[in-house]
Amino acid sequence: MASKHFLTLQNMSKAVIEAEYAVRGTMSIKAGKLQKDLSQGKQFPFSEITECNIGNPQVFGQHPFTFNRQVLSAVINPELLSSNVYHKDVLKRAETYLKNVPHGLGAYSDSQGFRMVRENVARYIENRDGGVKANPDNIYLTDGATFGLHVSLQTVLSGPNDGVMLPIPQYPLYTALLSLNQAQKVPYYLNEEQGWRVSSESLQKSYDEATRSGTNVRALVVINPGNPTGQILSEEEMQDIVAFAHKNKLVLMADEVYQKNIYKEGAKFTSFKKVVAESRKYPIDLVSFHSTSKGLMGECGIRGGYFELHNIDEEVHQQIHKLRTMYLCPNTTGQVLCDLMVSPPNAQNYASEVYEQFRKEEQGIFDSLKYRAKLVTQFLKSMKNVSCNEVEGAMYAFPRIHLPKKAIEEANSRNLKPDLFYTMEGKIL
């Protein structure tokens, strides 16, 4: 029987069909069904579902910063400026935004984002990196980090034989985006036994295998701190990665959205921008990403973020700008939130009660995340047939589940991957 629809699974984009986003894929769909069954009174050995498939802090009770939400509300509703509802420092900050956004948040901004916010992002980067210069014209505000990754990959990939090197384990957005762009995935494997470290030897091995098979490797993705593996790269490792990218003429794409989440004692975050700028021996093409969704803010739904171009050819930069303009502009509320992320209240310019409240909330969120990282790791290590490396940073633990031979055989008989079978069944045979 002929289909009553013009667009069907048989004639739609094969790239869309092949794109898999595991974070919101099969397991998430099953969780949704279980949640619906629970709400309808169906009995299970549990009474609620905790969705750990995606970093979504406010779902688990993390409170947004009071200062940020008050400023946002006054910018969205300027009538509050003439009230005594908020502290004068809150209203002053809101007035600053409104002066620089004369048409309000309901109008389009520049395609690249509000100039004032980009200037503040540049100052944030310079302070973070010890004075390494940042140009507001090289900064693009985005709806979270995801949009920046999408634009960057579209720019880098020129044909179906082009490929991008991805860490394994990795955040599955990257493989999904490569499928949508009909490009090649080039995995490089993190060493679990060495705390998910990466070596230039393993990078080169993956690169060589891909090029021998006919893949034109164009870019290298690095996630630091690691998602979902939680490791923090040392400066020595980063220097090796930069040297590798230079040797093989690769664009380096640095996902640094967890730069505030550093839990390991003695560890610190260093940006690839700083390493590249200070290592004049290797002037590589670099795109760096940050987001308001993660870090300590956890404002996933408001969708704010940015990417920075460093040492990118000017003509290519113009093409990126053109591509950005096709999508009009990032959402304006997210842009203001991005500014609040990079320009928080400080002791010099804000009343003590405003600054202390913000500092107390920030420290509380960090301490809670650090405690939970340690607690989850200890718990996983205590489980039978489970092992897990220390969570040094970011927001996830990545355990290894040692499946019995019988479970693997059963999974294979059902044409399922063993890890998916384990997750969907919720038990080991």
Which domains does the chain possess? Answer: 100-342 (3.40.640.10)
18-32, 129-143, 189-203, 233-247 — which is least confidently predicted? 18-32
- Cα-based distances in Å from 397 to 160, 277, 386, 422: 34, 32, 12, 18
Give per-residue pLDDT as tens, 155-204: 888 888 999 999 998 887 888 888 888 888 999 999 999 999 998 899 99
Asked if residues 73 and 65 have their Cβ atoms less than 8 Å apart, the reply is: no
In which region does residue 213 sit, left (phi positive, over 0), alpha (psi from -120 to 50) or beta (all else)? alpha
pLDDT (average), residues 366-390: 92
Establish how many alpha carbons lie within 13 A of residue 179's alpha carbon, considering only the half-sphere containing its beta carbon: 14
Instruction: Tokens for 367, please give them.
Output: 């301490």
Task: Give per-residue pLDDT as tens, 318-329.
Answer: 888 888 888 888
Q: Which of 45-54, 87-96, 260-269 has the lowest mean pLDDT?
A: 45-54
Residue 91 has pLDDT above 90, yes or no: yes
Return the residue matching tokens 């967890």.
Answer: 258
Backbone angles phi, psi at 25, to 5 degrees: -100, -135
Q: Average pLDDT of the chain?
A: 88
* Banded model confidence at residue 429, pLDDT cuts 50, 70, 90: very low
Mean pLDDT of the region 341-370:
93
pLDDT band at 18 (very low <50, low <70, confident <90, very high): low
What pLDDT score was predicted for residue 9? 67
Mean pLDDT of 302-325: 89
265 or 22, which is more confident? 265
Q: Are 425 and 403 in contact (CB under 8 A)?
A: no
User: What pLDDT shows up at residue 424?
Assistant: 76
pLDDT of the residue at 225: 94
| Angle ∠(183,184,190) on CA atoms, nearest 5 | 135
Assigned token pair, 238: 């980063």
Instruction: State mean pLDDT over 277-291.
Output: 90
The answer, yes or no, to whether residue 8 has pLDDT greater than 70, is: no
Position 315 pLDDT exceeds 90: no
Q: Examine the pLDDT at 359 and tell me if it is beyond 70.
A: yes
* Among 210, 225, 207, 218, CA closest to 171: 225
The residue ranking higher by pLDDT, 31 or 382, is 382
Q: Which of 31-35, 288-292, 373-377 has the lowest mean pLDDT?
A: 31-35
Q: What pTM was estimated for this model as a whole?
A: 0.87
Question: What pLDDT is recorded for position 428?
Answer: 44
CA 349, CA 358: separation in Å to the nearest integer?
A: 13
Q: Mean pLDDT throughout 93-114?
A: 87
- C-alpha distances (whole Å) from 220 to each of 11, 186, 223 are 33, 9, 10
DSSP 295-360: TTT--TTT--EEEEEES--HHHHHHHHHHHHHT----HHHHHHHHHHHS---TTTS-HHHHHHHHH
